[in-house]
Amino acid sequence: MIFDQDLDGSGVKKTKESVKILDDICLEQDLIDIWRVRNPTEKRFTWQLKTAIIQRRLDFWLINDDLQDDIVSADIIPSIKSDHSAITLSINGVDDSGRGPSFWKFNVL
C-alpha cells in the first residue's frame, strides 16, 4: 500500500482501505514515515515491475515522532536479487548516551 498516490506511486492508481487503517494507527501511536518527512516532495520507489510502467514506494520506516532527532539518515538503495529496493535507517544516540546507576548480578544457578 502507498500513503500518497501522487508521490509514492506511478502508473495505475488505486486507493485501498488499508491506507486509512494504517493512517489511523500512525495518528494514534504518533508514528511518522521518516523517509517522507526528510524527503517531502521526492518521488523514489522501492518496487517496480520489470517494465517500470508501475512503480511504488511500498516499503517504509515508521518511527515515533519523538525519535526524529536521533535519525542520522533514511535512504532507499538498490538491493540484490529482489524486486524491492532496500530501505536504510541510521540511528544516532546509542553510543552517545551515558549509563545511569545500576546494579548487576551474575546468577550461576
CATH code, domain with 38: 3.60.10.10
Residue 50 lies in a domain: yes
Residue 27 lies in a domain: yes
Separation between Cα atoms, residue 42 and residue 40, nearest integer Å = 6
Residue 107 lies in a domain: no
The type of residue at 29 is Q
Q: Is the pLDDT of residue 27 over 90?
A: yes
Separation between Cα atoms, residue 60 and residue 74, nearest integer Å = 9
Q: Scanning the structure block, which residue is given the C-alpha cell 488499508?
A: 18
pLDDT higher at 37 or 3: 37
Q: Scanning the structure block, which residue is given the C-alpha cell 516532495?
A: 41
Pairing state between β 62-64 and 55-56? unpaired
CB 61 within 8 A of CB 36: no
Q: What is the pTM of this model?
A: 0.72
Residues 49-94: tens digit of each pLDDT: 877 788 888 888 999 999 999 999 999 999 888 888 988 999 986 5
